[in-house]
Structure 1
Amino acid sequence: MSTMRAVVVDQPGGPEVLQVRDVPVPRAEAGQVLIRVHAFGLNRSELHFRRGQASSGSFPRIPGIEATGVVAADPSGALPAGAQVMTMMGGMGRSFDGGYAEFVVVPAEQVVPFASDLPWEVLGAVPEMLQTAHGSLAVGVRPQAGQTLLIRGGTSSIGLALAALGRLQGLTVLSTTRSAARTAMLESAGADHVVIDDGDIADRVRAIVPGGVDGAVELVGTNVIGDTLRAVRPGGTLCFTGMLSDQWSIPDFYPMDWIPNGVRLTAYSGEAADLPAPVLQAFLDDVQRGRARVPVGRVYRMDDIAQAHRDMEAGVVGGKGVVLP
């Protein structure tokens, strides 16, 4: 098979620049792995790249910062053909062609093997979402069992994954949403308390957890980070992970005014190496047993990629968007 179907972006623009085309199947060189893609997740950073807002990357490009599938070729012989694998980050879909395709070539060190009978549309939702959620906790917040965790932006796919991981790690989880209609969704994902977010939640969080939460993950952005910081206790940690509001920086940032005394502010943006294979396997096994849930929102075909991006921009996916090539 010498050609494959892929989504190609020639220059930045609206959803219409996502063109489905026949292109040559890439070859794996030494130190690389060729993956046959069975599913790929959709991410807001791909919106930023498509619009030309990203700080890195070049065009023309096959976008996509993650993919899930099976090994088609590994020149090193380390991974057998047909082995189930996930891959993410490391320049995928920016500096080299990414996961919006039937095949993708990636560096061998960013391939994470697993074994699971879960359907591909479920598996395809996992890599970037789990890597970001796991890293936000393990690297950013570092909570202890029995502590409290606030997730600001709880209905996002990463927010839902954080709730699942928080429950598995023995944390009391508080998740925010702007819509009371999404309360049941957050509770089923693992949230113990749902906080309706009108932009000012610190007092309501402290009504639930007097003194403030032990840890928090910010997924909304810099426009609310000051309020989220005020919900954290002295000695607690806020990890800045996401920017759903598309507000990335703080004008006139004055640390003494912004950061309450003793509250730690960290950040997380990770790579495939931050998701150890045993962590991935344990999470998938928990999903298989019904102890955790993968929040798949909508499932698309590759031909529907422009509509998928419109849905992502409109915020109507309702979980993680997944494409089956």
Structure 2
Amino acid sequence: MHTAPAAHSTSASAAPVEPPATMRAAVLTAPGIENLRVVDVPVPRPEPGWVRIKVMAFGLNRSEYHSVTGQAGGMSYPRVLGIEASGVVDHDPDGVLAPGTQVVTMMGGMGRAFDGGYAQYVVVPRQQVIPFHSTLPWDVIGSVPETLQTAYGSLTTGLDLQPGQSLLVRGGTSALGLATAALAADMGCTVYATSRREAGLELLASRGVTALRDNGAVAQQVRRRMPEGVDAVLELVGVPTLRDSLLATAVHGVVCFSGMLSDSWTIADFYPMDWIPNGVRLTTYSGQASDLPGDELQRVLDRIEAGALDFLPVHTYPLEDIVQAQRDMAAGARTGKLVGLPWD
């Protein structure tokens, strides 16, 4: 595991430093892991309304696996991958964000419509940049943005989870599952989470979560503990487990579909009145940078820094090892968040 340098911010009077003419970036030239290579490319220049960020860390996401395997829409090639990045402002041509300002960015077409965060520099619209202040290591900061955005949005918009309620996380040892469980427990909720593997069950238990082995009939296990069912379910596995997740939910409870770890995207012969129990609500969540309030990002970083929130296990890779990182993500070889370090 590689340890990143500590985060820092620079005063508003700091002068910009001209970057080199070229940078290292992971470029996908066509679908297929064999077409992902780390190469030298020109450092991008921001137009008005856009900001150049020196990337200190970037999280890996299932979305990028879908891009590599050709399942993602909206792709054009060649493309620098990466739907998120954490770092410092390198240049804002409009002078709104000072050089050295710590920022995160995510979504908005990154890594698909325009070049993304698997690089030493990235240029993004200013509207999808969120400033913050932290002395956490960059690898920890890099594990937070997109995972937090989806976890926070799933809990609030998708589930409307309230303190003291009960939550089942289906796919509990994924980065998103672990983060959502941590946030829900921090709210005072009763949290159940699933894993198919013994090591996953042990990890969940070590984080104060009631771990359930996912044998396909988790609803039965839930109702032995809570006969009326849970108040909320975060569905991250996808179509193969959705029906059982609905059966685990109490009347007036909510199931939010926020992930597809199974890579199953559609439901054949879906009959709502047969699938959905009386009074159970089914929703979805998929958000953007604008859906993550800056004060929530700052709150979570502060609680991690204070040791009050165990957000995610982090596994780091130098940018040059991005192909191995992608393979590890596809194989489920790591538990928690995989983070790339472009300057390691």
Instruction: Specify if TM > 0.5.
Output: yes
Alpha-carbon displacement from aligned partner over 1:96-142 (angstroms, at most 9, x marks no partner): 00000000011111101111111011111111110010000111000
Could you tell me how far 1:279 is from its partner in structure 2? 0.2
Residue 58 of structure 1: which of 76, 86, 107 is its match? Answer: 76
Residue 177 of structure 2: which of 159, 167, 190 is its match? Answer: 159
Could you tell me how far 1:227 is from its partner in structure 2? 0.2
Could you tell me how far 1:4 is from its partner in structure 2? 0.6
CA distance in 2, matches of 1:269, 1:262: 24
The one-letter amino acid paired with 2:80 is: I
Residue 332 of structure 2 is aligned to residue 315 of structure 1: yes
Identical positions, percent: 56
- State the match for 1:236 in structure 2: 253
CA distance in 1, matches of 2:72, 2:288: 17
TM-score normalised over the length of structure 2: 0.92
The one-letter amino acid paired with 1:175 is: A
8 A contact 1:297–1:317 mirrored in 2: no
Residue 274 of structure 2 is aligned to residue 264 of structure 1: no
- State the match for 1:216 in structure 2: 233
- Where 2:108 maps in the other structure, the secondary structure is coil
TM-score normalised over the length of structure 1: 0.97
Residue 130 of structure 2 is aligned to residue 107 of structure 1: no
Alpha-carbon displacement from aligned partner over 1:191-222 (angstroms, at most 9, x marks no partner): 2x111111111010111122000011000011
- State the match for 1:199 in structure 2: 216
Alpha-carbon displacement from aligned partner over 1:248-279 (angstroms, at most 9, x marks no partner): 11011111111111100000011001111000
CA distance in 1, matches of 2:83, 2:208: 27
- State the match for 2:3 in structure 1: none
- State the match for 1:178 in structure 2: 196
- Where 2:100 maps in the other structure, the secondary structure is coil
Could you tell me how far 1:190 is from its partner in structure 2? 4.4
Alpha-carbon displacement from aligned partner over 1:281-322 (angstroms, at most 9, x marks no partner): 000111011111232342101111111111111101111100
CA distance in 2, matches of 1:243, 1:60: 26
CA distance in 2, matches of 1:293, 1:39: 19
- State the match for 2:95 in structure 1: 77
CA distance in 2, matches of 1:186, 1:296: 12
8 A contact 1:122–1:294 mirrored in 2: no
Once superposed, what is the RMSD of the aligned Cα atoms? 1.0
The one-letter amino acid paired with 1:277 is: G
Q: Which runs of structure 2 are paired with 1:12-31 in the superposition (5 Å)?
A: 12-13=31-32, 15-31=33-49
CA distance in 2, matches of 1:22, 1:294: 34
8 A contact 1:241–1:268 mirrored in 2: yes
- State the match for 1:35 in structure 2: 53
Distance 1:235 1:99, change over 3 A: same
- State the match for 1:6 in structure 2: 25
Residue 160 of structure 2: which of 142, 158, 163 is its match? Answer: 142
- State the match for 1:288 in structure 2: 305
